């Protein structure tokens, strides 16, 4: 998705209007969208190319993608910044937002802080590395630069 298309899309405009009185949520929502789109456009096609081999089904490729992501998670959760982020998140007070209750947010936060082990593998990733995070961040800058400054 082109940054111009997203920033001017009905979805982005609607979110901006709906959450204009909750700028922190809006920033988090936009950051999440920018991250997802950037990953899907920059890294996921390369990952699928890496995983592609003769005779592998789409379902097997999707499964292999998740296994690679969980191996990469296993690396990231051992980084110092990750534990610093968990400490910061643990101090937050969840609030109701849109259709998500504070209790749902609290449950998910507690899962991330205390029980994320089901989303990590101990084996190292075969493809993904920190350079892919850097690439996503650089790509995200396109979205951030096109987002009106009064929003961010």
**Count of residues in the chain:** 152
**Model pLDDT, residue 138:** 93
Q: Which residues contact 50 (CB under 8 A, 6 or more apart)?
A: 126, 127
Q: How far apart, in Å, are the Cα atoms of 114 and each of 72, 108, 117, 141?
A: 18, 10, 8, 32
Residue 46's pLDDT band, with cuts at 50, 70 and 90, is very high
Percent of the chain with pLDDT over 70: 86
What is the rounded distance in angstroms from the CA atom of residue 66 to the CA atom of residue 48? 11
Mean pLDDT of 84-108: 90
pTM for this entry: 0.78
């Amino acid at each position: 998705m082109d940054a111009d298309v997203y920033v001017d899309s009905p979805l982005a405009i609607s979110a901006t209007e709906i959450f204009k009185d909750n700028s922190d949520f809006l920033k988090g929502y936009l950051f999440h969208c920018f991250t997802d789109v950037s990953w899907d456009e920059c890294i996921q096609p390369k990952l699928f190319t890496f995983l592609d081999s003769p005779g592998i089904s789409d379902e097997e490729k999707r499964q292999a993608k998740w296994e690679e992501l969980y191996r990469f998670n296993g690396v990231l959760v051992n980084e110092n910044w990750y534990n610093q982020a968990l400490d910061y998140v643990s101090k937050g007070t969840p609030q109701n937002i849109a259709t998500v209750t504070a209790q749902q947010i609290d449950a998910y936060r507690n899962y991330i802080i205390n029980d994320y082990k089901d989303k990590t593998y101990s084996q190292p990733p075969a493809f993904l590395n920190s350079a892919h995070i850097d690439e996503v961040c650089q790509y995200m800058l396109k979205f951030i630069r096109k987002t009106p400054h009064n929003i961010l």
